[in-house]
A and B are shown apart, each in its own frame.
Chain A
Amino acid sequence: MTTTESAPGAPQAEEPRVKVRGAATTIRFPFVSMVVLGLVVLVAVFAPLIAPHDPEVGQLSNKLIPPVWQEGGNSDFLLGTDTLGRDIFTRILYGARVSLMVAILATGLAGVLGTIVGLVAGFYRGWVEIILMRITDMTLALPLMLMAIVLVALLGASLTNVLMVIVILLWPYYARQIRGEALAISEEDFIDLARVAGLSSPRILWRHILPNVMPTIGVLATLQVALIILLEASLSFLGVGIPPPTPAWGLMVADGRDILGRAWWVSIIPGIAIFGVVLAANLLGDWVRDRFDPKLRQL
């Protein structure tokens, strides 16, 4: 991997000045990540068909059964049960739904909101731009986790509120980036041409500028998926996210916190699920960024 860029053919051999930034373009397609994420999507969609038990109701007589490979394990409950006798495997399957739903909806909403703000700011300029960008920069300067906790505390813990808070905190990332690009594109000749042709401003935005910023939106969205899943899981773990009995992974980790010695699986198994998905999403995000938009490297 290292030697490759040093001298790509003779012309550069004169000065083996390495294109460092481009180095990461050699990252291989994250095949394993794709498989993991694909599996999670499938599992989330078909959870009711695959799941052997009810995700929210369990029998106390079945409580704290260890996973099947441990002594005392039961093949009815592959990954064991929690303090209320609920099947952890089932809850993991349903939990994938929660994580994915939050990730997709939050990414989508933040993307739409941020893109609109960015386009408007970059295209209309003037005081509109100043105000929108001030708000964007201020929001970006806030410590994410702290603000998420405060906002959920004020609004109350619920799935909708968690979603809303994540959108409120993440749209500026899109707005900042899209504005810059919209600015650059609106200077191009073909935009002048469209103006001369008498196209209205909203139409120019929609038909000519938006398609050109789509790749950036896509890259940003992929990069944010992991962050959102992690954020939601952390909030739920702290008890300021999705309320019980919804099978959110973060919440499940919190459930087993006090019985770590007796029943490690209650916490650790959902934790590993979060870890795996975030890892896969991160690797995919890195690859997408390097492949399609290397200038976003610093994000």
Chain B
Amino acid sequence: MRRFILARLAQAVVSIFVLITVLFFMVRLTGDPVERMIPPQVTEEMANELKAAYGLDKPLLVQYGVFLGGLVTGDLGTSLYFRGRTVGELLSLRILPSLELSVFSMMFSLLIALPLGVYAAKYRGRGSDYVARIFSILGGAAPSFLVGLVMLRIFSVQLQWFPTGGREGLLSVVLPTFTLGWFVSAGIMRLTRSSMLESLYGDYVKLARIKGVRESVVIWKHAFKNAALPVITYATVIFAAVIGGAIVTEYVFAWPGVGSLLIRAVIQRDFPVIQGAVILIGTAFVLCNFLADLAYAWINPKIRYTR
């Protein structure tokens, strides 16, 4: 178990390092950030001044060193668009809203997808199975921006139950949570259903019934625990879906999160911000996967009890 955790931790650290490095060189090698953002009429002299101000005139490896050094001290550089504001400052304002949306959506989708997947498997081929499958097929095919816009049109514009965007008050979180949550739960439900089908027909479930265990306990204690393992192995896919969906959802609902900041930075060609946002999201992704690995090890005694 200890060795397993350490190995996964090392793997996570390496992943983050690789991500940062690849990102740094990709940004530098695909063109000069300053030249890409400044208008052509600016004189070369001014451009050079700008480059010097951002340290872009130095050799690439030196820049890389400075960049890494900055990262260690929490300095992600300065925004090119919002002059004088550091990337760290811009990001820090947006972490909480993003976290809020992701956590709410994750909770919502687990709350919906797990029971739905379990009962769809239990009543395979009957009414509730069809409802669950339609829910998941639609959720997998409807682009979240369409779901978001339809929600906005009906509940915000027409019925005026919810604000049309932004993050003010508890009501504003409802539509984004539903939009992102549905998208994510479609996948989780599918996985839960198929892995429940497998464990429901397992001999240990039969044995539980033979022991005289109540059906609800059979399902949730005996079948579900083992069905959860394969679902957790797909955590990476699920987290990737949350990230992708969150970026789109934040953009649709003008939610002041890291995702919408990233899109704005891309459109404004604000490379330090893009870099910072990607590093932040990437690190969060790697950390979540690490936590999922821990959860897997914790649930799975086969890993827990090997050194």
Which A residues are closer than 8 A to B by beta carbons? Answer: 1-3, 17-18, 20-21, 23, 138, 141-146, 149-150, 152-155, 226, 230, 233-234, 237-240, 250, 253, 257, 260-261, 264, 267-268, 271-272, 274-275, 278-279, 282-283, 297
Contact = CB atoms under 8 A, between A and B. Distances in A.
Given A149-B262, A234-B143, A144 B244 contact: yes
Contacts of B244: 143-146, 234
- Chain B contact residues: helix, strand, loop or mixed: helix
Contacts of B281: 143, 146
Given A1-B124, A282-B140, 11 more contacts: A2-B126, A17-B201, A21-B198, A138-B18, A146-B240, A149-B262, A150-B23, A150-B26, A153-B266, A240-B267, A274-B146
10 contacts: A20-B201, A23-B197, A143-B240, A145-B243, A150-B26, A150-B278, A234-B248, A260-B153, A275-B142, A283-B137
A188 to B, nearest CB: 30
Interface of B: 15, 18, 23, 26-27, 30-31, 124-126, 137-138, 140-146, 149-150, 152-153, 157, 194, 197-198, 201, 236, 239-240, 243-245, 247-248, 251-252, 262-263, 266-267, 269, 274, 278, 281-282, 285
B141 A279 contact: yes
B79 to A, nearest CB: 15
Nearest to A147: B278
Contacts of B263: 149, 238-240
B141 A260 contact: no
Given A143-B243, A146-B243, A278 B141 contact: yes
A257 B152 CA distance: 10
A277 to B, nearest CB: 9
A80 B126 CA distance: 42
A154 B27 contact: yes
Contacts of B266: 149-150, 152-153, 239-240
Contacts of A144: 240, 244
B15 A141 contact: yes
Contacts of A230: 141, 143
Contacts of A141: 15, 236
A17 to B, nearest CB: 6
Contacts of B141: 226, 230, 275, 278-279, 282
A278 B137 CA distance: 10
B153 A18 contact: no
A253 B149 contact: yes
Contact of B153 (A261, A272, A275): A261
Contacts of A143: 239-240, 243-244, 281-282, 285
B240 A257 contact: no
Contact of A146 (B149, B197, B269, B282): B282
Closest 5 CB pairs of A and B: A145-B244, A2-B125, A271-B146, A279-B141, A143-B240
B251 to A, nearest CB: 6
B293 to A, nearest CB: 13
Contacts of B267: 239-240
Given A138-B18, A150-B274, A155 B197 contact: no
Contacts of B252: 257
Contacts of A238: 247-248, 251, 263
Contact of A279 (B137, B150, B239): B137
A155 B27 CA distance: 9
B99 to A, nearest CB: 16
B278 A146 contact: yes
Contact of B274 (A153, A233, A278): A153
Contacts of A282: 137, 140-141
Contacts of B126: 2
A21 B193 CA distance: 11
A141 B15 CA distance: 10
Contacts of A142: 240
B278 A18 contact: no
Contacts of B124: 1-2, 23
Nearest to A264: B153
A141 B234 CA distance: 11
Contacts of A152: 266
A7 to B, nearest CB: 13
A261 B263 CA distance: 24
Nearest to A260: B153
A21 B194 CA distance: 8
